[in-house]
Structure 1
Amino acid sequence: MHIVVAGATGATGSLVVRQAAAAGHRVTALVRDPRTYAAPPGAEVRPAQVVEDEDLELPADVDVVISAIGGRSLRSTEPVCSTGTRHLVEALARRGGRGRLVVVSATPVLTTGIGEPFWHRRVVRPLVRRIGRALYDDIAAMEALLRASGPDCAWTIVRPGYLVDAGPTDYRLVPEANAPTSASRTDLADALLALATDESAIGRSYGLRRGRPVPSAA
């Protein structure tokens, strides 16, 4: 499978690239400046301005795009997610056929409160949304864009909680609900790759529930 990774230089995107290459997939990393990016063995590098380029081009034989683009902090105001995702959707549509796209969203975007304890739904999530209003409005706009994309885009959304740099756990994906726990970036990368090959995940969203640490191999 040919997997294209947007946001490949970020903390999550770089893990997706490494894990996908290690699993034997053909991987293309979209990066702003290839000179500053050390690709892992088995990964190709393609210069691309995903957020800025309205005429973004993707490899002709791409099977799935995994997007880990996002704002740099809760105070981010630039519409990175919605703009970059629109360019990816349009680039997939220009290729013809139905483009597969798996994206990283965030727990505070799901406003129904499904999967959250009462205190988290009434106190924590509203507070986080207020602090990062522009950031989460941008991510919510990204989700709305995907849901309105029609038959050209076969999308899947993953909403992790607060991301931490940690090893793998026996995580669980929670369909159409939130998982109000922190999430390991390693687990998130693994989940994105698993969903990219799962046809039943098309048109669905998932929370990511952190589990028990997986013992390292001796």
Structure 2
Amino acid sequence: MKLTVFGATGGIGQEIVRHALAAGHAVTAVVRDPARLTVRGAGLEVVRADLTDPEAVRPAVAGRDAVLSGLGARSRKDAGIVSQLTRTVLTAMEAEGVRRVLVVSAGPVGPDPADAGILDRTARGLVSALLKDVYDDLRAMEAALAASATDWTSLRPPRLQNKPLTGTYRTVVGGFPARGRFIGRADVAHAMLTMTGDPGTVKQGVGLAY
């Protein structure tokens, strides 16, 4: 497939690029600073683009089979940036007739597991309160996806870890895995690539965890 990756210099973004190249996909990595992208390989094109300008983004998504976004706030002061940049990407995609897009959101943005215990509910509530601005930004991003003409999927992981790829994790379409507290960034990237061709995840939020 021909894939475009936004947020390609972030923790999840670099894993998306790495595993996509290993799987033989052609990857266009859209970055602000090419020097921060440490992944190399055949089939990789690195593009610098202004993500506040849909016209500047259109060449990077034109003719692609799917767009994958690892965009995320690095800190609370970046709250608001993810929804803003995602709207730019969606505008560019719709102008080019590209439909498939997958993004990284967060577990607390979606529903609690049906059988969540008091400790899990309390922990999610505390994290949501602490990072309210960040999660409000992600909710705004998901609202923009839902209002778009794209075939979107929002991946909602819990606490992220830097761990080697396992390929073994749980996913719940429209929900969240019971007692799911952690997942590695490499496995989030693996899940995103796996879901790219899965029609059962289209226009859905998907919770995932170990």
TM-score (norm 2): 0.90
**Cα distance per residue 1:126-181 (max 9 Å; x no partner):** 111111111000001111111111xx201001100000001223112111112332
Q: Which moved more, 1:134-143 or 1:114-123?
A: 114-123
Percent sequence identity over aligned pairs? 37
CA distance in 2, matches of 1:120, 1:92: 41
Q: Kindly provide the amino acid, as one letter, of the partner of residue 7 in structure 1.
A: G
Query: After TM superposition, what 4+ stretches of structure 1 lie above 4 angstroms from structure 2?
Result: none
How is 1:48-197 mapped onto 2 (pairs within 5 angstroms)?
48-50=49-51, 52-55=52-55, 56-57=57-58, 58-73=60-75, 75-96=76-97, 98-110=98-110, 112-115=111-114, 117-120=116-119, 122-149=121-148, 152-169=149-166, 170-179=168-177, 180-197=180-197
In structure 2, relative to structure 1, the CA distance for the partners of 1:116 and 1:83 (3 Å cut) is farther
- Residue by residue, what CA displacement relative to the aligned partner does 1:93-141 show, whole Å, maximum 9, x if unpaired? 0012x5110000001111x323461324531111111111110000011
Distance change (3 Å), C-alpha of 1:120 and 1:3: farther
Quote the Cα distance in structure 1 between the aligned partners of 2:109 and 2:102.
16
SS at match of 1:174: strand
Structure having the higher helix fraction is: 2
TM superposition shift of 1:204 = 1.4
TM-score (norm 1): 0.87
- Structure 2: any 5+ residue segments left out of the alignment? none
Count of residues paired in the alignment: 204
Q: In 2, are the aligned partners of 1:6 and 1:13 still within 8 Å (CA)?
A: yes
Residues 163 and 185 of structure 1 are in contact (CA less than 8 Å); yes or no, is this contact kept in structure 2?
yes
RMSD of the TM alignment (CA)?
1.6
Quote the Cα distance in structure 2 between the aligned partners of 1:21 and 1:208: 23
Name the CA shift for 1:22/1:117 in 2 (closer, same or farther; >3 Å): same
